Amino acid sequence: MNSYIAKLLIVAVLILTIVSDALTPLGVAVWVGYVFAVLLTLWEERPSAPYIVATVSTVLLPIGFMLSKPGTIELEIAIFNRVACTAYVWIMASLVVRVKNSRLDDATRRLGAIVDGSDDAIVSLKLDGKVMSWNAGAERIFGYSAKEMLGNSVERILPADDLESGAWVHPVLRGEGSIQSYDAVRISKDGRRIDVSITMSPLKDGTGRIVGVSKIMRDIGERKRAQLLLRKTLDELEKTVQERTTELSQANRLLQELSSRLMQVQEEERRQLARDLHDEVGQLLTALKIDLQNAQHHSDHQSSAGAFTDSLGLVDRLLTQVRTLALDLRPSILDDLGLVPALRWYANRQAQRNGWTLQLNVEEGIGRLLPMIEVACFRVVQEALTNVSKYAGAKTIELVLRRQADEVILIIHDDGIGFDVAAARQRAQEGGSMGLFGMQERVRLAGGLLSIVSAPGRGTSLELRFPLVDEALATSDALGKVNIP
């Protein structure tokens, strides 16, 4: 029942009871009316409500007696009814008070169990900041026992900046709000700063006046740290994405530059091949044609024999030139015998041409490798030795091919003038020579790694590493990457 409705019913019952008492000389109505009015105070919030109603009933009993109709012989009964009812009303009032107190005690015990069992700090304060209650959760979070805090100021757990600004005095204490929630920092007994989430609500007395405030404080340090870690992770992820995007953009640009450079190299090779065919093979064929024409027009057997001898010499030179061009394009020894014989042949040939001292260290038992690895190794050696002959001014070339664990290693070292690798990469990025990127791209496509170590005046070392895999497995992996529509 609503407290407001109970008040109205109490007033109505008191009025009806005194009217009934005035109409009945024996005072029988008081036994029902006034006792019922006292029982209705169970729904009143005021602890003293039963005694107030009992007092009003006691005052109304003699008034009702005086207003009642005069009787003949029932005077003693009327007086007895009123006196006995007065005693009964006060007995009922005391019983109702005990019931209400029992209810309050039960509610207080339940509330106390809830408060003490909470992991959150639940604290009640007076308006001046003195602590009225301090639960076990507050002891666990802040380190102060209830004995240390009860009756003392809450300023013990407030940081200095809050004390100076008075930020802890919230509008709810001035009656300007009902419930407020906010995040703050509090200080534990050992000096740690604790991030807490605070829910504050006013404490009011029976008249509705604010007499204090209740605070529920939850430790949100873990949540704050998780948020900071998440924010840091997101920042790092965003940074990584930006770096990868930049790298991808640079890789795309370098790929375009490499493709353009490869086309230029292809055109240069074609131009060189055309020049060699024109200058060497073309001239030899022209001379052969002239000799054959001379032999055709001379009937003298001795002259014809001399022309044929010259022609055979020209044919030999022509075959040698064609064979040289074919070997420069792709030596058949690489396909027929493998990488090791091809490297021996090519390195010795270049050393003889350029006057180098060749130190060739090839481990025995390497055997045949995957074709793409053999081609990549041979082309890198071609490119490296060509660059050495053009720019390095080297006297000694060291070529090492060995097998280590599950990979094959190829090292090319010269004692030439060396160069700045970083500057060379920068020039390549700006559209200059793409030799380094071409070698790296060729090695990468074959599944290997290329590292270049050089410095001005200290020579140059190139190291190629290729993992050794089964040829059938590598072929199946390559086929698995092909998209078949």
pLDDT of residue 279: 61
- Alpha helix (H) ranges present in 298-338? 301-329, 332-336
* Pair 61, 28: CB distance under 8 Å: no
pLDDT of residue 478: 40
Q: Which pLDDT value is given to residue 268?
A: 64
What's residue 484's pLDDT? 29
Q: What is the structure's pLDDT at 460?
A: 93
* Percent helix / strand / coil, the chain, rounded to 5: 60, 15, 20
Q: In this structure, which CATH number among 2.60.40.10, 3.40.50.620, 3.30.450.20, 3.40.190.10 belongs to the domain 119-219?
A: 3.30.450.20
Neighbours of 139 (CB within 10 A): 18
pLDDT value at residue 476: 42
DSSP 263-282: HHHHHHHHHHHHHHIIIIII
Q: Cα–Cα–Cα angle for 40, 43, 47, nearest 5°?
A: 100
Per-residue model confidence (pLDDT) at position 153? 85
User: Is the C-alpha dihedral spanning 214, 219, 225, 226 positive or negative?
Assistant: negative
Residues (pLDDT < 70) of the chain are 1, 69-73, 104-108, 111-117, 162-178, 206-207, 256-285, 287-289, 291-308, 310-312, 314, 318-331, 428-435, 470-485
List the chain domain ranges: 3-115, 119-219, 330-480
Residue 21, classified by CB atoms within 10 Å of its CB into exposed (0-12), middle (13-18) or buried (19+), is: buried
Backbone angles phi, psi at 298, to 5 degrees: -105, 125
Q: Give the bridge partners for 404, in sequence order.
A: 407
Q: Which CATH superfamily is domain 330-480 in?
A: Histidine kinase-like ATPase, C-terminal domain (3.30.565.10)
